[in-house]
Structure formats: C-alpha cells, structure tokens
Amino acid sequence: MATSKPNLSVAMIVRNEERCLGRCLESIRAFANEIVIVDTGSTDNTAQIAGHFNAKLLHFSWTDDFSAARNFSLEQTAGDWILVLDADEFASAELTREIREFIKGTPAIGRLRIVSDFRRNGQTLRSQSYVARLFPRGPRFQGRIHEQIVSPLPRINLQAGLYHDGYLMAGKSGRNVKLLVAELAHQPDNAYLAYQLAIEYTTLEQPANAMEHLQKAIGVMKWIDSFAPNVVVDLLYASMSLKQFDIGLATIAKSETYLQDFPDFYLARGLFYMNLIRSNAAKFINELPKIEQSFRRCLALGETDKYKSVLGSGTFLANHNLGIFYNVFGNKGAARKCFEQAMAQGYEPAGEMLKKL
C-alpha cells in the first residue's frame, strides 16, 4: 500500500466478511493510498484479515441505517477521492487503471459498472448496473437501505468491471427485508423500496411475496424512474414462476410501448409467451409468432448499458432461446445457426444443445 499522503481512500463497512474480504482488498491494494474499514459487529476473522492489509479499522454500533455507517466511514478518510466498496466485490485490473485516470480529471461522480452473479431458474447469470461509488471528498449518503450518494456533480460511467457475488449468498436478505419493510411503513408509496424488497424476496425464493411488491411498485412508479424497466422484467419472471399469466399479459400490454429499447424486456417477453403457450396451447396458439419476434428483437437491439441488464439478453441468451424455439418446431438448420452463434459468444449451454441436434 502506498505510504505518501493519501489521494485515493477506499471506504468500506463490513460485518462477518471473512469469506470475501481478502479477495476484495487484494484487488485494490496496489492503487489505494488508504483503506478505511468500519466494522459493525463481526464475530469471525474479518478484523484479522483487515489487519493483514494494513487497513485502518474502526468500529461502529449498527443502528439499522446503512447511510449512517457509510457516512461514518467517509468521515474517517483522508483522501482527496473516495472509492466505496462492499466486501463481496472485487475490482478488475482494467478498473484499477480506469480509476487512476478518472481521479486525475475534474471533480465528478464515477458510476462503476457492477457485474453481479445471481441465480434464476437454477442457472447462474450475470447482470450489470452502474452505481455511484467514486467521488471527491464531500458528498454523503442518504437512505437507511439501498443508500444513494447525494451530489450535484456530473455522473460519468466507468466501463471496466467491479465484480460482485453477494446475490449468491442469501444470508443477508433476512436483514434487508426487515429494514425495507420498516422503511416502506414510513414511505408506503415508494416504488423503489417496494422493488428492492421484491428483489430480496426473489433471492429468498419467495415468488408470491416478490410478486406482491412488484405489483405495488408498478402501480406507483413513474416510467421515467431508472428502475421502472426492471420492475416490469422481474414481474414477468414472477408471473411465469407463479403461473399467473393473466398478470403477465396485462403487464406486457401496459409496458411494451415504453420499453422498445430494452433487450431484457424482450427476452422475458419471449420466455413468457413460451410458458404461456405451454400452459394452454389450444387457447394461446395465436401468440406463437411473438416468441420468435421477441428474441429477434433482442438480437436487433444487442447489449445495453442504458439500464440494469442481464448480460447476454441482446446476444447469447437470445440466440440460445431462439435456437430452442426453432428446434422444437423442427427447423434444425436455423436452430444450429443460433446455437453456434451463442457458443461463439461464450455461452456453453448452447454447445450441449448442438450435441443433441
């Protein structure tokens, strides 16, 4: 770690993070002038791992308020710039280089591209979203949970990856549910909180509870809300899981005008119509063309950085599912082409489908 006057401080809040803290700190030790770790009550080896990396370790009594803990950590830093990380994240080498260049520029808020692993229908997928994490000293966080940095500075997206695997660990969802339920009691019409609570219920594999809060979110959100497209997509997946196809059909009818540029919507739309027709082919057979139409729309749009998006929605996941559609209806040539394209884009399950053709 550098010993000169700090220029870049890394600020973290942690609790029982021995699984992943060392990985995180190893990824940033070469460029961080200072590492500040605020522990909110660990009972494992978190403190020892922090000491191994010469981090400045402080303790903070947990008050069910993420912003309070975050802002305490910011107040302990000395750097001109601050990078906020969670222990279940780690920086790519490309990101460390990009951060070095970013902090040489004029003051701005850096939105890091967080690449998160998560599970859906027994499959591990990756999403990407841009979150404000890098800023000159001064700004502070607001919000008891899913806290946001508040600043009038311009926001700029960094492109290299900050990798995150916390969604694969359900242990913290119970705590988050408690906080979100309490916040919603104070802000019952807050669509963002309802959406975040639905995400936690999805992680806990409670689709009925997730559906309840997704419906609440879509009922009060505005289409200009940055998270609105993701509410729609998650609601479609919940409707498939619960076989509540009437809700899914109404959601598509209500929202597709607003989501013409979102490949994740069309991927979910195609999968939804697949499941709808399987549920009652005689009743819904006229919807069949919408499956191919949806996946082709994904491919026409390609990947997006405008929204929080599942990687592959505009490339290999669309090709793979389009290949499955063609295979079911006997178009082996078109199916093979789709699977080959998905394989070329790095999607290994498409190779298994090719073996079966």
Model pLDDT for residues 130-150, shown as the tens digit of each residue = 999 999 999 999 999 999 999
Beta bridge partners of 124: 119
How far CA 328 is from CA of 91, 124, 285, 321, 323, in Å, comes to: 42, 24, 14, 11, 9
The mean-pLDDT minimum among 8-22, 93-107, 160-174, 328-342 falls in 160-174
Q: How confident is the model at residue 203 (pLDDT cuts 50, 70, 90)?
A: confident
- Answer yes or no: is pLDDT of 3 > 80: no
Sign of CA dihedral 16, 196, 262, 330: positive
| Residue 76 and residue 68 in contact, taking contact as beta carbons nearer than 8 Å | no
Per-residue pLDDT at 174: 75
| pLDDT beyond 50 at 2 | no
Let me know: does 92 contact 145? Beta carbons within 8 Å: no
Determine what percent of the chain is predicted with pLDDT higher than 70.
98
Q: How far apart are CA 234 and CA 48, in angstroms?
A: 40
User: Can you read off the two tokens belonging to residue 336?
Assistant: 């093979």
- Contacts for 337-343: CB closer than 8 Å, 24+ residues apart: 341/316, 342/315, 342/316, 342/317
pTM of the model: 0.91
Cα angle at 214 between 67 and 303, to 5 degrees? 85
CB atoms within 10 A of CB 204: 15
Q: Are 92 and 160 in contact (CB under 8 A)?
A: yes
- Helix, strand or coil, per DSSP, at residue 110: strand
| Segment 293-309, tens digit of pLDDT | 999 999 999 999 999 99
Buried b (16+ CB within 10 A) or exposed e, 316-351: bbbbbbbbbbbbeeeeeebbbebbebbbeeebeebe
pLDDT given for residue 40 in this prediction: 97
Q: Mean of the pLDDT values across residues 318-345?
A: 97
DSSP 29: T
One-letter identity of residue 33: N
Buried b (16+ CB within 10 A) or exposed e, 118-145: beeeeeebbbbbbbbbbbbeebebebbb
- Region 192-203 average pLDDT: 94
Q: What are phi and psi of 33, to 5 degrees?
A: -80, -20
Q: Quick one: pLDDT at residue 170? A: 65
Which residue bears the tokens 């609601």?
Answer: 235
Tell me, rounded to whole angstroms, the distance of Cα 345 from its chain centroid.
21
On average, the pLDDT of the chain sits at 95
Residue 4 pLDDT > 60, yes or no? Answer: no
C-alpha 301: how far from chain center: 20
Average confidence (pLDDT) over 248-252: 98
